[in-house]
Structure 1
């Protein structure tokens, strides 16, 4: 016998902190909403519960204005009236790093713990697609359910549901499984998260409302428990919800109407689900839809934001945290509070309407300030922690000549590296206390610029290129006295640091000398058209493209690096090329080419394109925007007027580098367009690989049959890779999250700039700053390899591309540490290391890896301290104690594994 239908009505308001208004304007209405809620609960007007959008940052935003309300909120949370967490923010899933997704959960749970309760639901109401490892992360956090609005069934423009011939799941309820096999019960908001919004109390209106709403919900439900979300974006509280429910009960006595919450709804739902639910594996990216509303092109809106975010994440995860751990081993304080401040400030920029670049200009200006705060905090932590470690290193060696300048190079990437180091060195400085400051610059300029000799602890000499940078002002901030200003003579040195061990350092010594500078061996031919090292050979063509030969395999990749330009009549959410347009390219454009730098450890060639492209979209485009014509239906094109943009490309090949790195400076003066760089691979394959959240995901080169959008763009994190099984090529990047595989020549196309003019959702919101007029940059690295990116271990090179080495100038002093040391060792095939840090609530070291392959592997790891190890999770729990200091543990295919160590005093 069929169970009675229950309508679970969950009051909520999806709260974008900033979007079509600035943060402060949105917060004004948030305070009103929270005040109303508290008033409702305190008056006891039969208002049962409210779901606070799954993000605890809302409480911080409110309490900054109403700090006296904290105890009231705690009481409401503990009484299960106000439901909070588990996230800190509702961040975009694909545009924030793996560790950012973990920290978002970790800080959300810690905040919820302070208030006394948490909603154990993986809440992704409006996330623009979700990474495939989400079920594994949720399971490790003790969460076995998820709710989401996008990714499985097609949600169209303005959140209107449209059926298609084929779905991944016939129901709202499904089993969602990660590649490792972890699974959660997933609930799709098939009728969106506003399907129970503004419930009428008028009997006639309520009858019509519920006739339609019940029918719509039953259409997708596999169980008698129907979900109705009573709210929408920034929706004020429906204060008369109890009255509305009473009216519904009188009209539909065969339906039980409950003012519910997700805990109760999910418990009831799981008890009544059919035995066989459709299993959806991996990413939720609307693969089986027409492709017009995936919102993937938010990956290329305001790319400068993504680049700043990538730099912040990298400095925190890969530099500041490891260095803080190693300094902690030496008895120094772990800057947990500062790191938490930096992470939380960074995550203020991670909500989907923020990091996606799909808000009004005021929002994104404020984001830049937040990024700068994080960069400043991370830089200060890095400087402090390296100086603390360096102070313990003995740089006083009897077998080396006097008057040397020690230079300590830190490698915190997690992999052993050969890296070209570039560092500005103060070879002589004069303090203001030692000479009248007005005389110091002339005094230093009168000194002859020395040559540089570089040696290691054994006295072995290395090639070192030096460049005079002149005189620079500086200052010191001693711990025990007033600041000390000075002027210094500065040189920039460039040298190859070989075999830098993972999570360690190596000391070099600089000796200024008046000897004749050693001759520099050229690696660029006379016509500035060829560069090579032991791994690759490059030929630069007249049009600025380059042919790359993998010297290890003999594979040749022809004419890489051609630029492509298309019109864009879409918006911040969606790229839309004008109908029938053939993209412009630099294939037939003559480039200016010259040598910028050439010595044994580094060669740089500059390529300049002055390129005439259409100035903007045509006049019809403005009329279509004003009429709110959906981007799919726009008929406008590009202007007949042209304007010149300049692309200045630096191709750099370092000694020992597995491929060239490239940086382009774009002087953008055009509007309404997209700029990409093309890498024709000519590799015979139907699929490719992209770095994603804790996953190397395999994707098809062509879309499913339902796809109508002419573009088939994708998200990436650190790299995209293609192989035919024998040869492969991987394109690493810094903050370039959008790419597409073009059928012609199996070309990888990476977006490096997109210029748009409007937000593009429910009204007309001009965004002139999204046109990105002015100077912008983009960086990538080309890594040819044998076989796959996993087999060749090219993935390590790709990950390391974005991680800087840190070089610290110091003085000659005694210490307890040797000149070269590793603090943490690990090994394991097909494993990528994600982080090493101290736990949030105890002083244990936590390290995390993920298996990027479909084969079981083994991780072996050991701290260089006396410790006790254990198996952990993403929320830093202690799961299984290990007997030895050295931990050896099997890692399943695609598994995320965290290990912990209790550091003994």
Structure 2
């Protein structure tokens, strides 16, 4: 007997906080929607429920205008009429860090907890592809189902969906499995999240509406439960849904139409599922499509936003939080409230239309302000915590005279680390209260900068360089007195701090000396840099040859720049099919030595490159006619402009490869700039850093792919290797790359200039041209074997993380001059975070296993009373005991250890 079909209608509105309108203008409409919704619940009991788009920030946005409505909101949430969470924001999955994805879920669940109910659905309605570890993250948070609109089935312009011959699942229901084997029920919005929008109440119109909609849903449904999403982007509430469903039930007595919610719908679907469903493994990236609407090129729209995001994420999760734990272990307060504020402010920039750079200019101007707020907050936390720790260190124990200057170098990377430290040091300062300010500068400049020796805590001399920076203004802001201005004589000290503790600090000391310990060079000739790991030879065109001294492998013609037109938009890259890319291969560069010492040496490479100034007038006409990007044919103008580029290639004494910083003065429009790294490695796949995963991807697309480009997302690095050797390109906020041709060239996008938003209308975005100064930073890491087997991934992760070095004085204290607060060992494991739990003072340390082999983890902290295994939402899932050694971390597992420091 065939079961009666049941149509689940879920009222919702997909709420992009900012997109084609800036945040405040969108919020104006959100307040109207919420006011209408609350009135509807109060006056019409038959209007059952509303799904608040899976993000709790909408509650904050509404209550900032209507604070007196909080109790009313809470009432309807607890009655399960308004369904909230589990996320704080609907963030882009690939462009936000692993920890940002975790915090988004943690803070969303904590916000929902205040209201008494949460919708336990992994809600990804319009996410531009989803990382492969999402099922594991959801399972660890107690969430067993996910809904999504993209990544499995073609989704095109204006959110239209179409069929592909071999799209991944025949059903809208599927098993979605992470690399570690965790799986959740996946529910694809096969007909988009608006397939039940604006349901007619008029019987004639309703009959036609439902005839088509029932056919569309049944085409994909694996059960008799049919899902209809009653809403769309910024859709006002359909207030007459009860009447519309009454009409539908009268017209179709063989179908039960109900005003539903995701909890009820998923529960009923799970009970009716067939024995076998298609299993989709790993990333949802639309590989079995024509490739024109994957939206991957949002990874290179407004790169400056991605770079600011990388800085803020890194400062919070890899510096401010660990430093705060260090200070807490020494007795200082953990700044939980400030970290919450910083994370939430940062995540306001993480929705897909925000961090993807695919909104109008007003939106991204506000984002820059938010990023600055986050960076300023993180830096204040870092500085305060570093000073608190330094004040407790017994710098007097080394037995140096009062004039010695201690420098405390912190390592928060989670790995033992060699770092080149560059620190401005005040060698003498005079306060305005001690001498009239007009006399201080001359007084300080009269004095010679003494020779200094740099020693470690065992009084071993450390090679260093000293540069006189002259006299500079400064001020103190004491906790118990008015501000205190001064002038200080300053020097810049550069030295290599080696084998820093994994999670701790080491103290160095500047003392006066009669000797000069700054000799030596990494410059082997006028064009060659060399250390124990690599040799870098600069060529006339500014490219460079890299020799890996460990494997003997040589990589030639690295660092050539490629430029093409871009007649796409913020979402999508497009160049005319007939266009041949321009390169710097035959452009002579000016090459000069910028720095030379035994600690680090660098070349500056200058290019003045004439490129087309913009596209021709035909492009404006195509945009105004809303010509879809694959069908555009506009070409570049004949007028040129100079693209001035400065490339600084730096090699440090203990670095696995050179670091590169590019500064570009961009005066051209409608173009894309990439840097090329030919590897000549014979392989059909490569590896990329993603969310809690070093993911393997094919070099070539599936047969359905028609887009000439095959661009991808990355987090910290992309890597190509064979069994003998490989090349990894680490980056800071450069999230787009492509693997090209027979030479297996890694092409990393460092600038993309476009002129319009590119969805459902014409929205000019002149600031997306990124005119003026832009920059890019990357590191080139050769290695033996794969990026994981060689440990090169740790160097790539460390490249992201800045040092924190604090100057202090000689004083007594309770802390030693060198300390490792937490040490750990785990072959091929990657450190992710160390923080205090959100609702208790336990310390949480998180790792993930990027390899396909089991790994044993051991953790030690003298402050720990007992250890336990936690899930990602900081719940104990297994006791470990007083020792944490030999813990089995399965392949691709995200593994969190908590430990208590108080009874």
* Fold similarity call, TM over 0.5: yes
Asked if structure 1 preserves the Cα contact closer than 8 Å seen for 2:398 and 2:457, the reply is no
Give the aligned partner of residue 536 of structure 1: 534
The secondary structure found in structure 2 opposite 1:823 is strand
Q: CA deviation at 1:275?
A: 0.6
Give the aligned partner of residue 66 of structure 1: 66
Give the aligned partner of residue 89 of structure 1: 89
1:313-324 → structure 2 map (5 Å cutoff): 313-324=313-324
- Pair 1:199-2:164 in alignment: no
Give the aligned partner of residue 405 of structure 2: 405
TM-aligned CA distance change 1:398 to 1:800, over 3 Å: closer
Give the aligned partner of residue 110 of structure 2: 110
- Write the deviation string for residues 154-199 of structure 1: whole angstroms up to 9, x where unpaired: 1122222211111110011000000000000001001000000001
Give the aligned partner of residue 49 of structure 1: 49
Distance 2:234 2:265 in 1: 23
Distance 1:461 1:736 in 2: 38
Q: CA deviation at 1:885?
A: 3.3
Q: CA deviation at 1:867?
A: 1.5
Give the aligned partner of residue 639 of structure 1: 637
1:263-274 → structure 2 map (5 Å cutoff): 263-274=263-274
1:888-899 → structure 2 map (5 Å cutoff): 888-899=886-897
Distance 2:778 2:440 in 1: 42
Q: CA deviation at 1:525?
A: 3.9
Asked if structure 2 preserves the Cα contact closer than 8 Å seen for 1:6 and 1:226, the reply is yes
Distance 1:901 1:84 in 2: 31
Which stretch shows the higher mean deviation, 517-526 or 444-453? 517-526
Distance 1:401 1:547 in 2: 48
Distance 2:447 2:170 in 1: 79
Q: Determine which of 662, 665, 672 is the counterpart of 1:664.
A: 662
- Pair 1:486-2:482 in alignment: no
Give the aligned partner of residue 223 of structure 1: 223
Distance 2:319 2:518 in 1: 35
Distance 2:861 2:522 in 1: 41
Q: CA deviation at 1:886?
A: 2.8
- Pair 1:724-2:722 in alignment: yes
Give the aligned partner of residue 823 of structure 1: 821
Asked if structure 2 preserves the Cα contact closer than 8 Å seen for 1:579 and 1:637, the reply is no
Asked if structure 1 preserves the Cα contact closer than 8 Å seen for 2:518 and 2:598, the reply is no
Q: CA deviation at 1:409?
A: 0.4
Distance 1:359 1:776 in 2: 20
- Kindly report the root-mean-square deviation, in angstroms, between the aligned alpha carbons of the 2 structures: 1.0
- Write the deviation string for residues 713-765 of structure 1: whole angstroms up to 9, x where unpaired: 00000000110110111100000000000013110000000000000001000
Distance 2:588 2:104 in 1: 48
The secondary structure found in structure 1 opposite 2:219 is helix
Q: Which runs of at least 4 in structure 1 moved beyond 4 Å after TM superposition?
A: none
The secondary structure found in structure 2 opposite 1:338 is helix
Asked if structure 2 preserves the Cα contact closer than 8 Å seen for 1:85 and 1:118, the reply is yes
Q: CA deviation at 1:480?
A: 2.0
Which stretch shows the higher mean deviation, 468-477 or 670-679? 468-477
Asked if structure 2 preserves the Cα contact closer than 8 Å seen for 1:869 and 1:887, the reply is no
- Pair 1:576-2:569 in alignment: no
Distance 1:638 1:556 in 2: 37
Distance 2:88 2:416 in 1: 34
Distance 1:80 1:728 in 2: 54
Asked if structure 2 preserves the Cα contact closer than 8 Å seen for 1:400 and 1:457, the reply is no
Asked if structure 1 preserves the Cα contact closer than 8 Å seen for 2:521 and 2:600, the reply is no
The secondary structure found in structure 1 opposite 2:743 is helix
Asked if structure 2 preserves the Cα contact closer than 8 Å seen for 1:833 and 1:849, the reply is yes
Distance 2:867 2:265 in 1: 39
TM-aligned CA distance change 1:845 to 1:67, over 3 Å: same
TM-aligned CA distance change 1:172 to 1:398, over 3 Å: closer
Distance 1:461 1:327 in 2: 29
- Write the deviation string for residues 41-88 of structure 1: whole angstroms up to 9, x where unpaired: 011252110000000000000000000000000000000000000000
Distance 2:245 2:481 in 1: 70
1:202-351 → structure 2 map (5 Å cutoff): 202-351=202-351
Give the TM-score normalised by structure 1: 0.99
Give the aligned partner of residue 694 of structure 2: 696
1:860-879 → structure 2 map (5 Å cutoff): 860-879=858-877
Asked if structure 2 preserves the Cα contact closer than 8 Å seen for 1:569 and 1:672, the reply is yes
Q: CA deviation at 1:398?
A: 5.5
Asked if structure 1 preserves the Cα contact closer than 8 Å seen for 2:301 and 2:768, the reply is yes
Asked if structure 2 preserves the Cα contact closer than 8 Å seen for 1:470 and 1:490, the reply is yes
Q: CA deviation at 1:451?
A: 2.9
Give the aligned partner of residue 452 of structure 1: 452
Give the aligned partner of residue 390 of structure 1: 390
Which stretch shows the higher mean deviation, 574-583 or 276-285? 574-583
Give the aligned partner of residue 524 of structure 1: 523
- Write the deviation string for residues 100-158 of structure 1: whole angstroms up to 9, x where unpaired: 00000000000000000000100000000000000000000000000000000111222
Asked if structure 1 preserves the Cα contact closer than 8 Å seen for 2:858 and 2:885, the reply is yes
Give the aligned partner of residue 36 of structure 1: 36
The secondary structure found in structure 1 opposite 2:703 is coil
- Write the deviation string for residues 516-554 of structure 1: whole angstroms up to 9, x where unpaired: 644622322443x10100100011000000000001111
Unpaired runs of at least 5, structure 1: none
Distance 1:2 1:676 in 2: 58
1:335-374 → structure 2 map (5 Å cutoff): 335-374=335-374
Give the number of aligned pairs: 903
The secondary structure found in structure 1 opposite 2:129 is coil
Give the aligned partner of residue 21 of structure 1: 21
Distance 1:787 1:109 in 2: 41
Which stretch shows the higher mean deviation, 441-450 or 365-374? 441-450
Asked if structure 2 preserves the Cα contact closer than 8 Å seen for 1:427 and 1:512, the reply is no
Give the aligned partner of residue 588 of structure 2: 590
Distance 1:295 1:416 in 2: 38
Distance 1:50 1:402 in 2: 68
Asked if structure 1 preserves the Cα contact closer than 8 Å seen for 2:193 and 2:231, the reply is yes
Give the TM-score normalised by structure 2: 0.99
Distance 1:869 1:521 in 2: 48
Q: CA deviation at 1:399?
A: 4.1
TM-aligned CA distance change 1:808 to 1:519, over 3 Å: closer
Give the aligned partner of residue 738 of structure 2: 740
Q: CA deviation at 1:883?
A: 2.1
Asked if structure 2 preserves the Cα contact closer than 8 Å seen for 1:863 and 1:886, the reply is no
Give the aligned partner of residue 806 of structure 1: 804
The secondary structure found in structure 2 opposite 1:62 is helix
The secondary structure found in structure 2 opposite 1:8 is strand
The secondary structure found in structure 2 opposite 1:10 is strand
Q: Determine which of 548, 551, 555 is the counterpart of 1:550.
A: 548
